[in-house]
Amino acid sequence: MTTDGPIFDDSFRARLADLIAWRRDVRAFRDTPVPAGTFERLVSLACLAPSVGLSQPWRFVRVADPARRAAVRANFERCNAAALAAQADERARIYATLKLAGFDQAPEQFAVFTDRSTEQGHGLGRHTMPEMADYSTVAAVFTVWLAARAEGLGLGWVSILDPAEVTAALDVPADWRFVGYFCLGYPEHEDDVPALERAAWERRREFQRFIFDR
């Protein structure tokens, strides 16, 4: 039995391209609260993301407790200082101008982990590449990113963190693999150019550079 699916016309595809182009890694947020139920709705859409063996290995940990937020922020400050010290002089100057976290502004914060030991999916597709579970989690994160942007929200991915310390601070199972810490809220500024490109840190290359024929 087959059913007719939705029609995605040229207009829809153009708007989808706009959505992807305007997705940004947001670092500065307004203090406007995120409406109740938004986080849950975004996670429900994330659960539609592809996952190896339909394992859905992602684990979203909402962080509202001030003490736990403070612990993650302190961890970031230590790791960020070390990352800054590792940069060359000019790179360090540029790096220092970038706001790399929204801990003090973002009204909603959460961490994402992968549960590689989940029995869901019966291990399909993970025997030779167990990291497929992590890739599945990243696909879920990107789904949240696009869905949030469609609602006018911004998402900031904080990766300058010590995974073991974050795992301990959030009191989650030690075998969960930390993927990232995320700040969610309404962005202070809108731009279709990445902040790192605007700061002359790096520039986005043309897509042709990433296609290889064999």
Tell me 55's DSSP state: -
Which residue has tokens 């203090």? Answer: 31
Nearest C-alpha neighbor of 32 from the set 102, 108, 133: 108
- Could you report the per-residue pLDDT of 142-160, keeping only the tens digit for each? 999 999 999 999 999 999 9
What's the whole-number mean pLDDT along residues 96-108? 83
Per-residue confidence at 88, pLDDT binned at 50, 70, 90? confident
- Could you report the per-residue pLDDT of 154-192, keeping only the tens digit for each? 999 999 999 999 999 999 999 999 999 999 999 999 899
pLDDT score for 93: 78
Which residue has tokens 């300058």? Answer: 160
pLDDT score for 94: 80
Which tokens belong to 72?
């993650």
What's the whole-number mean pLDDT along residues 204-210? 95
pLDDT score for 170: 98
Alpha carbon of residue 97 to chain centroid = 22
What's the whole-number mean pLDDT along residues 106-116? 97
Q: What predicted TM-score, i.e. pTM, was given to this entire model?
A: 0.93
pLDDT score for 1: 58
> Cβ atoms within 10 A of the Cβ of 76, count?
21
Tell me 182's DSSP state: E
Per-residue confidence at 2, pLDDT binned at 50, 70, 90? low
Write down all domains in the chain, each with its CATH number in brackets. 51-187 (3.40.109.10)
- Report whether pLDDT(134) > 90: yes
How far is Cα 45 from Cα 140, in angstroms, rounded to an integer?
Answer: 8
Per-residue confidence at 71, pLDDT binned at 50, 70, 90? very high
33 neighbors 107 (Cβ within 8 angstroms): yes
